[in-house]
Structure formats: C-alpha cells, structure tokens
Amino acid sequence: MKNILITNVKSITCPFSFANSGGRRVKRANHALIFKFEGETIYESNRKTMISNAEKIAFLPKGCDYIWKSKIGGHFYSIEFEGELDEAEMKLFKYPYKDKLSKIFSDFEFESLKNSELKKFLMVQCAYRVLYELLIFEANHTFLPTSKKNDIQKIIEYINKNIASALSNETLSEKFGYSVSYFRAVFYKVMGVSPMQYVNRIRMEKAVEMLDSDYGTITDLAESLGYQNVYHFSNAFKKYYGLSPLRYKHEFLR
C-alpha cells in the first residue's frame, strides 16, 4: 500500500469493544484503519484470519466482507476514509510504538477542539501522519538481519535503563563498538527514528509519567531525565507536546 491518495476522511473515532462482541460486515462502505490500543480482535474473510492488537494495525478495504470478534475488549481508534489505493486486500501492519500513534491521535483531538472549523483538514492530516508512520516502519524493516535487530535491542535496553545519563550518538556508538555513521544508519533502519529522536521520545514519555506522580519539582524532574538544566528540559517538553510542563500537567493530568 505504497501508493495512496486520500480523497476524504469520513470519521476518526475512539469506541470501546466489549469482550466476546462481534458481527458480520458486508461490502464495507469505506476503507478503514483499526488501531487496537487495548484488547484483541479477530477478523475472518475468504478463509483468511487476522488478529489485530496493540502492535498489529488492521487495514480493512472498501467493499470487503468479513466476520469480526472482539476476543479481548478495549478501546481502539478507527479511521474511515475514501481514497485511491494500489491494493485492496485486508492487511495487518506491524507497528510496536503505540505511544507514538497515540500522540498523533491526541494531537488531532487537541487541535480539533481548538480549531473546530478546521476539523476536516485535521482529519486528513491525522490520517496521512498515521499512514506515513506505518509505511516508513514497514519499509525500514523489510530487509534486515535478525542479528542487527538483536544488537539494537540491547542498545534500546541500555537507553531505557540509563535515560538520566548524558546520551549521544558518540557515547552510544563507542560503547557498543560502532562508528557513529553506521550506528545511526542501523538504528534508524530498525527503529524508524534516529537514536536521539528515540532518546527524546523516551524522556518525554517518562516526563509525563513523573508529572502525573508528583515526582518533585520541575528541576528535579529535568535532572533525573538527563537534562543540563530546567531551561533545556522545558524547551524540549514544549517543542514535543506544544505546552510547558506545568501547563500540560494543569490541563491534562489534574
């Protein structure tokens, strides 16, 4: 599904599916992408079975017939759209970073509330952002030896355990015996983002967790996440979320 033109986004919704619920869909009216942030759903069509969960996004093409059953209940996002595609078969996209997709949907909801008159445009923007993430991840993971993926997994574990340290491309590549250029290339190939983009994302996610748990002052939080000072942390947080740490806490966490 590399060639796609979205002509209209009908809806972006976040319903809840109950465990053991299900049904039959005949000649689906629109294309759809289903993102299971919680739970698990089974789709069956023409003797083909797909299991959609938090790491497997389902694409359901316009006109398809299928039976679905929610094996495990939970919330999910659904993007219903019209467009021109180079394929029209049910498909699963493997994508392990649900937090990244969650942020895209959160951005859409936040901007839609602020600018309701732009909602149709924001829906199309959201759909393209999501598809971009799925297609880039798929392209970067098509041809890569398992050994390289295992090497990067070790680096990921190190980053997560040492997020308070001064992490850089130079320090990480030296620790794991790579040249800087090779390290950055392989990391991007596996993860779909650069090493420092990944480090920043992990720090931002942990920052929200700490803000929600009354960890301490903003200065304490900045130091525990490896920032030189509170100014650098606040700038990074605002660039990532669009709000200062304190305003984000006030509007979303309390």
**Full set of structural domains in the chain with CATH:** 4-140 (2.60.120.280), 146-253 (1.10.10.60)
pLDDT recorded at residue 44: 92
Model pLDDT, residue 2:
60
What's the pLDDT score for residue 249? 83
What pLDDT is recorded for position 206? 87
d(CA 139, CA 191): 11
- Residue numbers of the chain with a pLDDT score lower than 50: none
Q: Within 13 Å of residue 32, how many CA atoms lie on the same side as its CB?
A: 22
Query: What pLDDT does 143 receive?
Result: 53
pTM over 0.85: no
Round to whole Å and give the CA distance between 250 and 18: 32
What are the residues whose beta carbons fall under 8 Å from the beta carbon of 50, sequence distance 6 or more?
Answer: 42, 43, 44, 56, 58, 90, 91, 92
pLDDT digits (tens, 9 = 90+) for 146-177: 667 678 888 988 998 999 999 999 999 999 99
